[in-house]
């Protein structure tokens, strides 16, 4: 793979730096990459410098990371070095690319091993919150050869779609979600229907919807503790549900990536507020394993997510931000101020649906009204 950024990568990086992160002259930035995301991370470094920022570029070598796993040194990987902690405390901005790239192998790694390698996660967020850091996690890192092969995709085309979605202006995304946000705040019932047999009614409880437009929200009490980092491409409106109310069924027509596993064709059926049946065309085994050990509330709804990004149409791993797409989550919703305490969380996504709030249409055939 060429390490020279393409014009599209440079354009996407410039958009992220100027419209999402709003880098100011003299600010310090860390850009953290893996081998397979190096061209885009190089474009990010260049874009930050063009804005007058100062950068530290960190590259995690794929082969070295897996060699440490093979030597059973996952706990060592989970302990970030002192120089990186010091750099984090001194930085204003942080841009992260997901990895590693060998997702075939990643899906087979024992969960305890993987958790140990990510043991730095909680401490990282504590330091980042104290410093008021703002930044972004870039979804491009999920577009790997293994996942493209698994889904029958052309990786280059997949990456291009993700990059084009990064060109969206977050102000335009916010404007698209404003009317929907007001309706969700005031409404009591949401009905979702689709020609595929979906007909589901869920309850609202007056929770304030949360806009996930890709911009960071450091020290904002209305957002979660990890929202000093925006997910890019962004474009989503989330709202916690009244977990006691759900009647009917929803059938997904978009794939979903959960717990590093893929599923598709999920159908959830509810009676008197509880999940009474579920099935998946692909990937149901992981759902069943997690659901079996889930705590109270696992069989009740958690939230709805509405996609707002007009540049996304059936792009893997961007299902929840696709404009007009509606996603239903099961289980915990405390991150949205909801009252479902379960340790379980899963979701299904549906494109092309009709959605009405208290009888008033807000989405028609997958188009936001």
Contact 333, 240 (CB under 8 A): yes
In a domain, 327, yes or no: yes
Say if residue 160 is in the same domain as residue 99: yes
Note whether 249 and 275 are same-domain residues. yes
Together in a domain, 49 and 189: no
pLDDT above 70 covers what percent of the chain? 98
Residue 225 domain-assigned (yes or no): no
CB atoms within 10 A of CB 266: 27
The whole-number pLDDT of residue 260 equals 58
DSSP-derived pairing of the beta strands 54-60 and 301-307: unpaired
State how beta strands 210-212 and 199-204 pair. Answer: unpaired
Residues 190 and 145 in one domain: no
Residue at a domain's end among 119, 143, 165: 165
Same domain, 35 and 159: yes
Tokens standing for residue 100: 């590693």
Evaluate if residue 259 carries a pLDDT over 60.
no
The pLDDT assigned to 258 comes to: 67
The structure's pTM equals 0.94
pLDDT in tens, 210-227: 999 999 998 888 888 788
The reply to whether 227 falls in a domain is no
Same domain? 99 vs 190 = no
Residues 105 and 249 in one domain: no
**Residue 1 resides in a domain:** no
Residue 228 in domain: no
| The two structure tokens encoding residue 273 | 């507020």
Same domain, 11 and 151: yes
Cβ 234 vs Cβ 223: under 8 Å:
no
Which of 121, 140, 165 is the endpoint of a domain? Answer: 165
160 and 189 in one domain?
Answer: no
- Domain housing 315: 171-219+234-368
- For 272, other C-beta atoms within 10 Å of its C-beta total 9
**Residue 224 covered by a domain:** no
Residue 312 domain-assigned? yes
Question: How many domains is the chain built from?
Answer: 2
Q: Which two tokens stand for residue 82?
A: 């002192």
Domain end position, chosen among 127, 145, 165: 165
- Condensed to tens digits (0 to 9), the pLDDT of residues 295-305 reads 999 999 999 99
pLDDT (tens digit, 9 = 90+) per residue, 124-169? Answer: 999 998 888 999 999 999 999 998 998 889 999 999 999 999 999 9
Is residue 44 situated within a structural domain? yes
């Amino acid at each position: 793979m060429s390490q020279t950024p393409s014009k599209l990568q440079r354009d996407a990086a410039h958009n992220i730096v100027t419209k999402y992160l709003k880098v100011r002259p003299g600010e310090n930035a860390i850009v953290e990459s893996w081998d397979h995301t190096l061209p885009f991370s190089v474009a990010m470094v260049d874009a930050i410098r063009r804005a007058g920022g100062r950068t530290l570029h960190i590259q995690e070598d794929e082969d070295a990371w897996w060699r440490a796993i093979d030597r059973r040194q996952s706990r060592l990987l989970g302990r970030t070095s002192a120089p990186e902690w010091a750099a984090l405390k001194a930085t204003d901005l942080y841009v992260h690319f997901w990895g590693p790239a060998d997702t075939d192998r990643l899906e087979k790694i024992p969960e305890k091993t993987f958790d140990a390698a990510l043991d730095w996660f909680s401490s990282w967020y504590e330091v980042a919150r104290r410093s008021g850091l703002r930044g972004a996690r870039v979804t491009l890192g999920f577009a790997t050869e293994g996942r493209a092969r698994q889904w029958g995709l052309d990786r280059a085309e997949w990456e291009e779609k993700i990059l084009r979605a990064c060109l969206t202006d977050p102000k335009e995304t916010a404007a698209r979600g404003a009317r929907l946000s007001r309706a969700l705040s005031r409404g009591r019932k949401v009905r979702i229907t689709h020609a595929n047999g979906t007909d589901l009614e869920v309850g609202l409880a007056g929770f304030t919807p949360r806009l996930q437009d890709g911009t960071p929200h450091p020290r904002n009490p209305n957002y979660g503790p990890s929202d000093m980092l925006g997910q890019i491409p962004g474009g989503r409106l989330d709202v916690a549900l009244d977990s006691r109310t759900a009647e009917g069924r929803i059938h997904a027509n978009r794939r979903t990536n959960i717990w590093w596993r893929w599923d598709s064709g999920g159908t959830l059926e509810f009676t008197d507020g509880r999940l009474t049946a579920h099935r998946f065309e692909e990937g149901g085994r992981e759902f069943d394993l997690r659901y079996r050990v889930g705590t109270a509330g696992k069989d009740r709804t958690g939230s709805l997510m509405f996609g707002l990004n007009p540049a996304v149409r059936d792009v893997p791993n961007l299902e929840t931000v696709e404009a007009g797409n509606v996603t239903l989550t099961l289980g915990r919703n405390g991150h949205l101020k909801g009252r479902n305490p379960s340790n379980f969380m899963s979701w299904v996504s549906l494109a092309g649906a009709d959605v009405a709030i208290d009888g008033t249409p807000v989405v028609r055939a997958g188009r936001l009204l």
